[in-house]
Amino acid sequence: MNRYILIAIMFIFAGPTLAADEKNGVFEIDNDLFLAGAISVQDKTDVDDLFMFGETVRIEKGIAGSAHIFGRKVISTGTIGVDVYAAGMDLTLIGKTAGDVTASGYNVEIGEVAGDLRVSGANITLSGPVAGYALITGDEVEINATIKGDVHLTAREVDFAEGVQIEGILTVYEEQTGDIEIPTRVVSEDRVNRLNISEWSEANADIEIWSWENALKDLISWVLIIMGIAVLIAAIIPERLANLRRSILDQPSRSLLFGFLALSVTIGSTITLMLTGIGLLLAPATLLIAIVTAFAGYVVGAYALGVGLLLLIKQPEPRNIGTRALAAGIGALVVALIALIPFFGWLFVLIITLAGLGAITIWLFRPKFFVAA
């Protein structure tokens, strides 16, 4: 999943810097295509590897290489020449994949796979045959096509369509033995292994079943992390943190402007270094700096939002660790909840991040033409 997170972060922050057409941010190099935008559409020919990020992502033309696709709604009808790596809320991958598929989402539909399949989600539909093995973890799983290799499966409910067969060994992970009914027409009993869910191997530990309970745990964990970092900063440099959030609340436009400039410079330097060839060695360092500074901006921006909300309900400014922790928690929670809203959510997160980053930039460099006389 680290691969998903890294590429997603790259597109979130690199998207605004790419040369854009009407719908997409577009960047091409040696037949590799990078697309980012609210509506991201691949409709070009002669594409090797494909990297896409957006609110709605559509692959309408086939590609020769691998596809790395991330979005709230992903639809792929084109043929993929090598492998697919996909993540999103609703994934529909009905075009043929000549290699392996690794996919994760809430509603997931997978078409024909010529290689191996690794998929996790709440509702999973396998509508095309799989030539290799299948690793499936979900809540409700519907299998409508034959799987030639071995299958490792964990789910609450499984439905096998007529004519479906599993030609390899089926290993089922259950809370109680016999929870999942496996028709003998699908696979003979001598090729079925039933194991307790606790025996789900470490190799599969990164694939989790989506559930509201897990989502709530992740949300709470994220809020606590942001709150903890903000409290640590407040404990070390309380006045500086107070000045940063005052800068954001008093002059939000200025903070946004300098945040945008700071991130553009960092991302722009990364692209420039990559174009020089030799600078490719330094590009990872500048990208890391961009990610770290953006995260710092997110923390400061979320804290400022929390303080602003407290001031809005006539509460006094935070003066101690307890009230600062409360402000940080409120801000982090509000940002995390708004981030769940399709399209608008990530824009709001970007605004909060840029505002926080802008306040940090102004503090570090003190641009004189924006300092009052």
The CB-based long-range contact list for 344-348 (8 Å cut-off, 24+ gap) reads 346/12, 346/55
Q: How many other CB atoms sit within 10 Å of the CB of residue 263?
A: 24
Distance CA(290)–CA(284), nearest Å, equals: 10
Considering the chain, what is the average pLDDT of its residues?
80
Q: How many other CB atoms sit within 10 Å of the CB of residue 262?
A: 22
The CB-based long-range contact list for 281-284 (8 Å cut-off, 24+ gap) reads none
Distance CA(346)–CA(37), nearest Å, equals: 12
Asked if 7 contacts 51 with a C-beta cutoff of 8 angstroms, the reply is: yes
Q: Is pLDDT at 287 greater than 60 in this prediction?
A: yes
Q: What's the pLDDT tens digit per position in 111-126?
A: 999 999 999 888 999 9
Distance CA(174)–CA(265), nearest Å, equals: 52
Q: Is pLDDT at 373 greater than 50 in this prediction?
A: no
Helices (H), 237-343: 238-250, 252-276, 283-312, 321-338
Q: Token digits for 274?
A: 């990559």
Q: What's the pLDDT tens digit per position in 7-50?
A: 444 443 344 333 334 344 566 777 888 776 677 788 888 888 88
Q: Token digits for 178?
A: 């016999």
Higher pLDDT, 220 or 298: 298
Q: Is pLDDT at 1 greater than 90 in this prediction?
A: no
Distance CA(351)–CA(312), nearest Å, equals: 20
Nearest of 322, 330, 327 to residue 307 by alpha carbon: 327
- Per domain, the residue ranges of the chain are 2-204, 212-370
Nearest of 97, 128, 127, 103 to residue 115 by alpha carbon: 97
State residue 57's pLDDT score.
Answer: 86
Q: How many other CB atoms sit within 10 Å of the CB of residue 74?
A: 26
Amino acid identity for residue 300 in this structure: V
Distance CA(65)–CA(48), nearest Å, equals: 5
Task: Give the pLDDT mean for 306-315.
Answer: 89
Q: Is the pTM of this model over 0.75?
A: no
Q: Token digits for 328?
A: 């940080």
How much of the chain exceeds pLDDT 70, in percent? 79
- Lowest mean pLDDT of 2-6, 63-67, 109-113, 196-200, name the range: 2-6
State residue 352's pLDDT score.
Answer: 92
For the chain, list the strands marked E by DSSP. 25-29, 32-42, 50-59, 67-76, 84-93, 101-110, 117-126, 134-143, 151-154, 157-160, 170-174, 192-196
Q: What's the pLDDT tens digit per position in 229-286?
A: 887 888 788 888 888 888 898 888 888 888 888 877 776 666 666 566 555 566 667 6
First-last CA distance in the chain: 50
| Helix, strand, coil distribution of the chain in percent, nearest 5 | 45, 25, 30
Q: Cβ contacts of residue 365 below 8 Å, gap of 6+? A: none
Q: Is pLDDT at 134 greater than 70 in this prediction?
A: yes
Task: Give the pLDDT mean for 89-103.
Answer: 90
| Mutual angle of helices 252-276 and 238-250, in 10-degree steps | 100
How much of the chain exceeds pLDDT 90, in percent? 20
Q: How remote is the C-alpha of 30 from its chain's centroid? A: 26
DSSP collapsed to 3 states, 103-123: EEEEEEEECCECCCEEEEEEE
